Chain A
């Protein structure tokens, strides 16, 4: 009888332990997934600062880098992105995001910038990579300084980065 009681106690204890461990691992797994998501979100948000600084699009004067985006380099970046090798390179680095720049000042212009329309356009769809299934979509935007080499003037644009998870 006493042995039976001990076995029962140990059995109940083991059940509680297993239940506790399952709960613990569930919470741990969830917190790891949450942590990964938060990190990715942070990385995505920091792109507002880091992406305009990439040498591919940042403007420079006599090799001196400046805090603006060169509108001609944007077009070059867009063209570069169409080549398979670079497409894969950026896809592995940037992931599922869309990057678009809209001109705001001196004027808003809804025309998409291509080589043929470079003097009369205001939208640069730089990078587009949408997943097949979209669970969440986050958008960050920030003003940017745009440099127009043909006019040697500056304008203001808005960079919009959409992140899909």
Chain B
């Protein structure tokens, strides 16, 4: 009789220990081993957008025309910039500007100007890239005030192709 009671108490203790172990496992799973939040790609998106904004602000053609206006001229297709075709001229300028200002760890880029549609930026009329830049982080799109065109800048790491 006494042995049986002792066994019952040990059983009770075992149950408590098991409950504690299960609680500890749950705690470890949901609190300690919480998956890390994805913040890195947002930061790169921010970098890409900041670079795109900075490029659009720059004045080209002896400081007379901003890249923003030059892209508009390229879209309208009836302007000459600094004696050259607007699209060719601004494409070359963007190439020079972006290559000099690339963030650290990023070697390749793709700059697109196209038609703003609800889902993004389509029918590109200007596509400037360093090399093949397939897998990278794309900036949020910029749409000019008159909503005539939009731009995107994609940054790719040099070792990811």
Contact = CB atoms under 8 A, between A and B. Distances in A.
B78 interface: no
Interface in A115-151: 140-147, 151
Contact of B103 (A145, A154, A158): A158
A104 B54 CA distance: 11
Interface string B97-122: 10011011000000000000000000
Nearest to A31: B31
Contact of B17 (A1, A16, A141): A16
Contact of A20 (B24, B59, B100, B103): B24
A83 interface: no
B16 interface: yes
Interface string A1-44: 11001100100110010001001100100010000001000100
Contact of A45 (B10, B27, B43, B57): B43
B contact residues, range: 35 or more
Secondary structure class of chain B's binding surface, majority of residues: helix
A156 B47 contact: no
A94 interface: no
Most buried by B among A45, A145, A147: A145
Contact of B54 (A6, A12, A42, A145): A145
A154 B57 contact: yes
B43 A144 contact: no
A154 B58 contact: yes
A142 B46 contact: yes
Contacts of A20: 20, 24
26 contacts: A2-B2, A6-B9, A9-B9, A9-B10, A9-B13, A12-B13, A16-B17, A16-B20, A27-B28, A45-B39, A48-B46, A68-B57, A105-B101, A140-B43, A141-B104, A142-B43, A143-B47, A143-B51, A144-B54, A151-B63, A153-B59, A154-B54, A154-B57, A154-B58, A155-B58, A156-B51
Interface of A: 1-2, 5-6, 9, 12-13, 16, 20, 23-24, 27, 31, 38, 42, 45, 48-49, 67-68, 104-105, 140-147, 151-158
